[in-house]
Structure 1
C-alpha cells in the first residue's frame, strides 16, 4: 500500500449555494448552506485514503467544535491523525460561494493552520517512512519548506500544489519533485498564460509538472519527456470545489503504486470527474472501487 504523508491545512468549509455569485456591493439570496470539512491538506489526505493509500496527516485543528469535527472526518476516511496538532483558538475556515454552473469563489481564514510554522516532533520521522509527501500553500511557508527539505533528506518524493499561488523561494522549488498548479496558478508563477509555455518555464525549477486545465483535462511535462495532454471526461459539473485536491490525492496513490504517468493521470482525472458531480469537497470524493468502475 502506498504510504502518503500530508503536511497541510484543515478547514471547515462554510458553503453557500447561489444562482450567481454576488458582485461587489450586491446581495443575493442563496438556496442552501452547508458546513463541510475541507482544507487543501485534509482534502488531499481524504482523497488519497479513499483511493487506497495509507495516509497520515500533519498540521493543526483548533480547540473549537470545528476542530473535533475535522479530526473525526479524517479518521472516518481512514486517515491517521496521530500527528495532527490541536492549537488553542479557532480552526481554519473557508467561506465558499458556489454558483449554478458549478463555479466557486473562496475566502480562506487560516485559524489554527497559521500556528504551523515548522515541523513538530515526530513529523520528520513520519515523512521519512512515506513514499510521497503532499504539500500545499495554506500553511505558513516556513513549515512547507521544512517539510520539503525533510523529504529531500530522506529521499521521499515531494508533490506541491502551489495554492493559493504566490512567488516561491528557490530553496523550496529545489526540494520539489512534482509541481501541480492549475492553469491560473501556473500563469501566476511564470507570468505566462499559455499552459504549454508555462510548463516549459516551470521545468527550469522542478523535474516534473502537471498543470490541471479544468474541463480541458491536464498537461504533463518533465525534463525527460515531451509534454502531453490527458483529456478530462465530459460531465455536467455540480460543484467543482475539491476537484483539484481529489485529482492530486488520487494521482499520488497511482504514482506511489508505480503506474505509468499517463495511466495515473487518467485514473486521477476519473476521480475528479466523479467528485464534481456531487456537492461539497471531502464529502464528494470517490472511493477506489468507484474510480476503478468508472475508469
Structure 2
C-alpha cells in the first residue's frame, strides 16, 4: 500500500542537510546561552530563550527533517535543565516568616491601595523603595495598626510587625553621587525567633551607554552592599530590595557571595505592564527562602513579591 506523502518517514536528503546546518548552530548557541552565565542583559532574557524552540521545531516538522529536529531539541533540553524545576508549584511552603518587597514607584497614585495589596498575606516585614517625602504620610496612614514599627531613610522604608532596633541609613552610594542619594537602610527586627538584621536597598539603575548597558554605578552599589553584609555581626540577615539585576547577573556577585534566595527566575517584577525579569529580590543568610511569588499589580511600574522564609 502506498504511504500518503504527508506521513512518510523522515528521510536523509539534501533538505535534511540544509535543515541540519540551520538547526545545529541555533541549538548549540541557545544551549550555551542558557547554561553559561553572561553579562547584565543575558540573565534577563535567558528564561525567554525557550520561546525560540517551538517555531524552530514546527518548521523542521514541516520540512520533515528528523536529524535536524534532534539538534533543535538541544535548547529545549537545556532550558528544561535550567528552568524546568521552577515550573513546579511551590505549594504551601513551610515558613517562619513572610516578607514583602516592592518598589512602590515615586509616581504611584494610590498608596492606600498599594498597602492593602502588600499586607494581604499578613507579612512580618514590608520593604518599600521610591518612597518620596511627599508620599510618606499617605503610606504611614495606610498601614494597619499591627505595623506600628517602621523606619524610613531617604527613599527606602521598612514596616514591621515586630519592634525595630538599630535603624540607620546604609551608605551604598556609587562614586560621584552626592549626599542626597539615600537608597539603603539597615535595622534589626526583634522577632519571636530572635534578632534578624534587615537590609532594604535600591541599587542604581542600569542605563544604556555608548558601549552597551552601563552597569558601573549599580555594580559599585552592589560592592558596597556586599561589604556591609559581609561585616554584619548578626547571624541571621534578610535583604529586601530593588537590585536592578536578576539573580544570575554577575553584578550581584558581591551580594550572592553572602546571601541566597530560592533561585526562581519566574516571579517577574519589571516592567509591570509586561514583566520580563525579576529585579526585586529577597535574599537571606541563616534562613532559607522557601518560595517567592508575585502579588497583584499596584500603581507602580514594578510588581510586588512575597517570600516565605524558614529558620
User: TM-score, with normalisation over the residues of structure 1?
Assistant: 0.33
Q: Which has the larger radius of gyration?
A: 2
TM-score (norm 2): 0.31
